[in-house]
Structure 1
Amino acid sequence: MTQQHTVRIWDLPTRIFHWTLAACVVALVVTAKVGGNAMEWHFRLGHMVLALLVFRAVWGLIGGRWSRFASFLYSPARLLRYVRGAAHAEDSIGHSPLGALSVFALLAVLAAQVATGLLSDDEIAFAGPLTRFVPNAVVGQATGYHKEIGQYLVLALVALHLLAIVFYVLVRKQRLVKPMLHGDKLLAAPAPASRDDLATRVVALVVLGLSFGLAWWVSTLAAAPGF
């Protein structure tokens, strides 16, 4: 039997971010469809996602080895080799080249959805905190994108993400869900582990607190006096 090595791939902050973001996206879709008073929660969840995205942007620079963007920022040639079946040994440790594309696309689309949400106005009861800083034409464009194109892009990418997980589990026999729960992966060869100790978790908590502080500040702009 081939010896397998247990390696910490996903640090705790990354795992908490992942599952919290997933729960928030589901709740955002539900509250948007329900409408009415549920829109209050839709706005709160939108600001929470803003905080999570800011946290992930920072954690992608200073987080655990395999959570850093540098670890899954692949060249087009590397991606092409992976698609053709000539994968590099490290391609299956953290995010694969295709998985990396999915991650970056989802983060970008969610960022656009949050940004347009902050600029949206339903002309009934709810308006984003940044609407008063831009012309009405921009508000209209942001609202249209947020309600139509952006919403469907998010749903499409989430569906694609779930289908990819099913494919990797059933066809390629790679466990993707369990490592994102407990952090460790069983690998055929040794690999550097992500740092995941008390010190890094404290740093993550500070970054998360600052991220939520920024999101809260943005939420107060709607009531702030004009500049």
Structure 2
Amino acid sequence: MPLRLFHWLLVALIAFSWWSGEEHYMEWHRLSGYAILALLVFRLWWGFTGSRTARFTQFVRGPGAVFTYAKTLFSSSRHTADGHNPLGGWSVIAMLLAIAAMVIAGLFAVDVDGWESGPLAYWVSFEQGRSAAEFHETVFNVIMALIILHVAAIVFYLAVKRMNLLRPMITGRRTKTAEEAVEDARWSPAMALIGIVIAGAVAWFVSTGFRF
């Protein structure tokens, strides 16, 4: 459940950040950015302390495993282990890194008039702040491309491999194949709570520009 909540909150906040930025509601845009930062910090925490399928060690595989899996993409074979397949695991990493780069750039960004800026913009020069703002916008376009690829992959798996990847991300359940042995995937509410506290604290400290 924590991983599914992270996923859908991130979807909503990315959309809200785009809308608030386009409409120049910069206070809302900043708050949305801090919320995304908190989600990223929580996901990092959960990637080491969360349920088995949420841990990076479960789905981040080496080049050999990725290449072997890629050769089966257009076959009728299925990935029978619960969680991300080797190729999908790296798509998760790419998405998280791109979103992190966008958020970090936004923290240092300055608008063209110098009126609006991120909480850490005072650490850099105006020119550097403008470069951060431009990078912030560029990385957002990269994220949009990754989202399109992500949706295309979901459609591909449904149409070609007859695997519904969307339903488990909503319900937390999927059909087990006959040859599959599903292990326990419990998660710790205490570890989730600690992660939420850490994520909220980091986002708050950053929002103040580390000035108290």
Tell whether the structures are fold-level matches, with TM greater than 0.5: yes
Tell me the equivalent position of 1:220: 208
Q: Helix, strand or coil: the match of 1:184?
A: coil
Tell me the equivalent position of 2:136: 146
Q: Helix, strand or coil: the match of 2:175?
A: strand
Mapped pair 1:192 → 2:180? no
Q: Alignment partner for residue 110 of structure 2, among 98, 121, 126?
A: 121
Counterpart AA for 2:119: P
TM-score (norm 1): 0.85
Mapped pair 1:179 → 2:168? yes
Which aligned runs of 4 or more in structure 1 are off by greater than 4 angstroms? 86-92
Shift of 1:135: 3.1
Q: Helix, strand or coil: the match of 1:186?
A: coil
Deviations 1:196-224 (A, max 9, x none): 3xxx12320221122112101111127x3
Deviations 1:141-181 (A, max 9, x none): 2111012x212101111111111111111221112111112
Tell me the equivalent position of 1:21: 10
The answer to whether the 8 Å contact 2:49/2:191 transfers is no
Stretches of structure 1 that go unaligned for 5 or more consecutive residues are 1-11
Question: Identity percentage over the alignment?
Answer: 34
Shift of 1:92: 4.6
Q: Helix, strand or coil: the match of 1:143?
A: helix
Say which structure, 1 or 2, has more relative contact order (CA 8 Å, 6+ apart). 1
Task: Please give the residue correspondences for 1:1-227 in structure 2 after superposition, counting only pairs within 5 Å.
Answer: 12-35=1-24, 38-85=25-72, 92-122=81-111, 123-147=113-137, 149-188=138-177, 189-196=180-187, 200-221=188-209, 224=211
CA RMSD across the alignment = 1.9
Stretches of structure 2 that go unaligned for 5 or more consecutive residues are none
The answer to whether the 8 Å contact 2:107/2:118 transfers is yes
The answer to whether the 8 Å contact 1:52/1:211 transfers is yes
Shift of 1:89: 7.5
